[in-house]
Amino acid sequence: LAVFLNFVLTNSDPSALLFYLITMLYKEGSVKDMRKWAYEIHSTFLVPGAPLLCANVDEALAREIDDMLQKENGKAEKLSMVFLRSRVKVKDIINQQLQQFQTKRTAGLGTMYGPNDQLLQMAKGDKVKEQRIIDETLLPKLQQYLDELERESPKEDPKKSALCSALSTVLMRFFVTRYNPGGPIDKVHHFVSREKSFKSRLMTKNRKQTICGHNLHLQPYYEVTRCNHCQNILWGVSPQGYHCTNCELNIHRACAKDLNEYCPGPAVQKNDSKITKLMEKISSRNHHQDKSRRHDEDATADDTTISGEYNRIDTCMTTNKTVGVGEHDE
């Protein structure tokens, strides 16, 4: 697997394979974990505009997942199946890549990406030899990506950053690489992990900050949200961005450094408390009762008028009838 992954990283788009491997680990979490991890994965691999967007996952499927994350976020059974269809889709890409890899190895070019079949067979079951293969194939690749990010700092390439997080997650969770504090694996955020990397721990030191009057709090997101500064989605490992508790602005951690729009102040709050709703209901009921009462009073008044008019007409008719009879008798 390590050699195949190295081949894919070198020759092809690794998004499908990394997504497939990471979602294998996803179900290990609790409902709370899965809810958080689901958005981390969804926003990195499936949402249109995601940094490691899987090529054959269409927008309709991404919307379906987003709806499920909003509506079924408390149901373990639903959450555990949220990536089922996406995994089936990406397997087509992985199978194509596997065929290309096998063709290369058959042609004798497989050793460009790791040991030959004989050495791999000899290393099988030997933890030391297996670890050496991993250290010689994938760790240098991760270090290469980290060096590229370092050179581009402070401007961070989302795709490379996401690639580092995904690869370090696979290294740590699948290959049980020896943990080295301060090593390349510890320098990036990890998917599907309760334990925070050094970078994640460092990031939480700036959990709250004030910029241009914005009261920014670092927070996780659970549904697709766009950055109000660059308009791209807030993606990746939680916490994905800052939220202003005054004006409700949402912004990437990186974009917060460039924020120059001043906070307009507290947004108009919708008063939707239970007490308010109850009072509105009572007020509505009283209004209805007043309206009904006025209607009844108007109806009574109309009845009185009609009754009076009827009596007047009846009196006239009686008078006329009496007069008529008298005239006839005469």
pLDDT at 302 over 60: no
Rg (CA), the chain: 35
Q: Are strands 214-219 and 208-211 parallel, antiparallel or unpaired?
A: antiparallel
Is the pLDDT confidence value at 281 over 80?
no
The C-alpha atoms of residue 43 and residue 304 are separated, in whole angstroms, by 72
* Cis, peptide link before residue 154, omega less than 30° from 0: yes
**pLDDT(309) > 60:** no
Q: Structure pTM?
A: 0.73
* Mean pLDDT value across the chain: 79
Task: Sort 312 into a burial class: Cβ within 10 Å, 0-12 / 13-18 / 19+.
Answer: exposed
The single-letter DSSP state of residue 251 is: E
End-to-end CA distance of the chain: 129
Return the SS3 of 125: coil
Residue 168, phi then psi, degrees to nearest 5 = -65, -35
In angstroms, rounded to a whole number, what is the distance separating the alpha carbons of residues 14 and 21?
A: 11
Instruction: Please write the tens of the pLDDT for every residue from 229-257.
Output: 999 999 998 889 999 999 999 999 889 98
Question: Alpha-carbon distance 215 to 237, whole Å?
Answer: 22
Rounded to 5 degrees, what are φ and ψ at 242? -100, 145
Rounded average pLDDT over 268-292: 49
- The answer on pLDDT for 311 being more than 50 is no
The three-state secondary structure class of 283 is helix
Query: What order do you get walking across the sheet with 208-211 strand by strand?
Result: 208-211, 214-219, 241-244, 250-252
pLDDT of residue 189: 86
Q: Are 93 and 122 in contact (CB under 8 A)?
A: no
Domain range summary for the chain, segments of one domain joined by +: 1-186, 203-257
Q: What is the pLDDT of residue 293?
A: 53
The four Cα atoms 271, 272, 275, 276 give a dihedral, to 10 degrees, of: 50
- Out of 3.30.70.920, 3.30.60.20, 3.40.50.2300, 2.170.270.10, select the CATH number for domain 203-257: 3.30.60.20
Nearest to 178 by CA among 144, 143, 128, 142: 128
Superfamily of domain 1-186: Regulator of G-protein Signalling 4, domain 2 (1.10.167.10)
SS3 content of the chain, % helix, strand, coil (to 5): 60, 5, 30
Q: What is the pLDDT of residues 198-241, one digit of tens each?
A: 455 555 567 889 999 999 999 999 888 999 999 999 999 888 99
Q: Read off the pLDDT of residues 69-89 as tens digits, 9 standing for 90 and up.
A: 887 666 788 888 899 999 999
